[in-house]
Structure 1
């Protein structure tokens, strides 16, 4: 089935109705579980980290468990702050409120960010009919990453809104605004800073200049408010994210942790062993391969306007892959390449293999979460004891979901079916 037929099938009213019923059921289920989530991670970690900061306690090097208990919050395994200093600074106003009230305001902020992102992605877009836009909206709302963002009080929906906003700003040739939006996302979560590489290779120098200025201004404000020492203590939080207990978690789905787990499983060693340099070298090689593929695809695309935002979509997927740490809710950012894929598929501008790979990634994002919750928590489960080999394979379904998403974005960036078809009809051979 080619991509045009897939797009046509997706627009059927029956499919649209089923998707929205499932989306509403999923959202309702998430909302009914949220009232007690103000006490739990990740929101609780944000709150207790900023509360500590306000009271002169370094949240990056201090065990927050006793403080969390005093505030009525469950620290769980999040013993330290790991968010950037600018993020903590932006979150500070909420800590002047009681945790329960702050949680619901934070949830409203995230709902607003999602609504903005969906509107910018779906409203009045080329290649998206009204039915297709509503269908994609339902698929986004019912997706596991979106619901996880709300359930845990995470912040990736804000990053999503900033990334979509940057894309639309570039579409209107407002590269300076795009640079500032990516700078804001980078100050909040760090890993979006990789998208500055997209600006550099595409020679969007105005975006680069505004991004650099925005980052410098954000850092200066943070240092002025928190002080240089406290700002630099973020290094301790970043190092904690490389700890064995964090990296070895199977829901840590970015490329580096995956390579580490494979190395430890195959060699029977653990972090800190005499052969650990091999693991670090393997991570560096894997990261360079993925980054090299992305750069190669970017350089091969000679259209600086980036039609359908193929290259931009690829850099978003790359930023998740190369992040030192990544969780299931990061996959919400793949909504950008997936929507762009569907929009271009309506006009036959996406290859079928890219569309199908995106569909597989979406399905795996659901399956991996269900498998993880049903069979792998808390370890060792009965399933892991009875079927150790199968359990080990299932443990990596979150990474496979990300990998298939990256492959879909890569094929989206490098396949040009309509252009190739025109060349073939004209008696020419498409470039390799």
Structure 2
């Protein structure tokens, strides 16, 4: 069966109903299998960090264990804050509530953000209702979406902001798009890379508003917290990107992946030369990815960003070159996936981009269980050949890399309006065209 027949079968009402039931079952399962609140480490770190900020402490250098013990949280290894000062300021009001109430308020905000993102993604011109419902179910069933809620993470909010900015750009509201990207960057840092998208696309209005919004937001944070507190964020960034985190296979961006492969091949040497070689390899791969993205962006300068192809590519790029990105960051690949699927429905996406996106989507659904299993129960091959088997644990990175490649092909395989039409359609339209032109 080809892709068109599969898509047609999935869009049938009975099949759509089954897919939605399965998607809701899986999504709700992310909540029914949640660990006890006291052990929900990511939310505990959010709450502890914001509470430390409220007490006038520096959450980036203070050991948060005592604060966690006071409110009944298990701090675990997350003894310092790693989030941006702006995000911690936004989280601080949650500390006015008991941890359980604060948790459900936070989850509710993320659910609203997810609903907004899905609605804006599937409500687009030229996309029929059945395809929209199918894409909505597939988004909900996407494993990293449930994983985001499992850890009470913030990527649903980030996705909503990036989707709003994308739609604003499509509607030519450049100022709004720039401000939204500034907010996303202030909250999560890595979306600031999209300023490169604005600059290379020569969208100066969006770039100016993004820079102004970022500066304004930073000044507000400094005015409230003080310069020293805000500058201390560098301590948090250094803490979260140290070896103890980078060696964990659920950290999936280029820097930790290259580091793990380097350590598997050459051992965990701490010599100056070894670290210099590892850092050089990381920079080389990051530069290669950025070069590919810049090249694809420059080819389309002066043209409308059809189906937000280049924008989607920059989202994948921001995840890959981020100093650290966890598996739940993959929820942001929903944006390029839906853009590719929507374009494919109009025959405006290459087959290789579509199938690479499908492969990335499917691999994301099994990468976490596979990695957990291989970590908990190493195979005989892993035990016998630890160096050769190290890549087996990197399914999360492969998922992200495949998502980037799909977005890259989506960008560079842009078809013109004529190329998007099947040859048989041109033959059928030829008589009408001849009548109109008087031929």
Query: TM-score, normalized by length of structure 1?
Result: 0.93
Is residue 261–residue 391 contact of structure 2 (8 Å, CA) maintained in 1? no
- Stretches of structure 1 that go unaligned for 5 or more consecutive residues are 427-432
Q: Residue 222 in 1 paired to residue 227 in 2?
A: no
Deviations 1:361-418, CA, capped at 9 Å, x for gaps: 00111111111233324x8799954774685232100000000000000000011346
Which of the pair has the greater relative contact order for Cα pairs under 8 Å at 6+ separation?
A: 1
SS in 1 for 2:32: helix
Query: TM-score, normalized by length of structure 2?
Result: 0.91
Is residue 37–residue 152 contact of structure 1 (8 Å, CA) maintained in 2? no
Number of the residue aligned with 1:118: 118
Q: Residue 74 in 1 paired to residue 70 in 2?
A: no
Q: Distance in 2 between matches of 1:29 and 1:206?
A: 44
Is residue 375–residue 383 contact of structure 1 (8 Å, CA) maintained in 2? no
1:265 positional shift = 1.0
1:424 positional shift = 11
Q: Distance in 2 between matches of 1:132 and 1:224?
A: 48
Number of the residue aligned with 1:429: none
Number of the residue aligned with 2:333: 334
Q: Distance in 2 between matches of 1:398 and 1:119?
A: 27
1:244 positional shift = 0.7
Pairs within 5 Å for 1:278-427? 278-377=277-376, 385=383, 388=386, 392-417=390-415, 421=419
Q: Distance in 2 between matches of 1:23 and 1:162?
A: 23
What RMSD in Å do the two structures reach over aligned CA positions?
A: 2.2
Q: Distance in 1 between matches of 2:28 and 2:388?
A: 33
Number of the residue aligned with 1:168: 167
Number of the residue aligned with 1:107: 107
Is residue 126–residue 343 contact of structure 1 (8 Å, CA) maintained in 2? no
Mark the CA change 1:384 to 1:73 in structure 2 (over 3 Å): closer, same or farther. Answer: farther
Q: Distance in 2 between matches of 1:31 and 1:422?
A: 43
Mark the CA change 1:324 to 1:310 in structure 2 (over 3 Å): closer, same or farther. Answer: same
Mark the CA change 1:184 to 1:88 in structure 2 (over 3 Å): closer, same or farther. Answer: same
Is residue 37–residue 73 contact of structure 2 (8 Å, CA) maintained in 1? no
Deviations 1:123-144, CA, capped at 9 Å, x for gaps: 2x13421111111111111111
Which stretch has the larger CA shift, 270-279 or 296-305?
Answer: 270-279
Which stretch has the larger CA shift, 216-225 or 268-277?
Answer: 268-277
1:359 positional shift = 0.4
- Stretches of structure 2 that go unaligned for 5 or more consecutive residues are 427-439
Is residue 348–residue 417 contact of structure 1 (8 Å, CA) maintained in 2? no
1:34 positional shift = 3.3
Q: Distance in 2 between matches of 1:372 and 1:228?
A: 41
Pairs within 5 Å for 1:20-31? 20-31=20-31
Q: Residue 83 in 1 paired to residue 103 in 2?
A: no
Which stretch has the larger CA shift, 406-415 or 27-36?
Answer: 27-36
Number of the residue aligned with 1:185: 184
1:272 positional shift = 5.3
SS in 2 for 1:342: helix
Pairs within 5 Å for 1:235-274? 235-271=234-270, 273-274=272-273
Q: Distance in 2 between matches of 1:233 and 1:54?
A: 16
1:301 positional shift = 1.4
Number of the residue aligned with 1:55: 55
Q: Distance in 2 between matches of 1:36 and 1:311?
A: 41
Larger-gyration structure (1/2): 2
SS in 1 for 2:61: coil
Is residue 4–residue 347 contact of structure 1 (8 Å, CA) maintained in 2? no
Which stretch has the larger CA shift, 414-423 or 42-51?
Answer: 414-423
Which stretch has the larger CA shift, 24-33 or 40-49?
Answer: 24-33
Is residue 368–residue 396 contact of structure 2 (8 Å, CA) maintained in 1? yes
1:96 positional shift = 0.8
SS in 2 for 1:376: helix
Deviations 1:55-80, CA, capped at 9 Å, x for gaps: 12211112212221222111122121
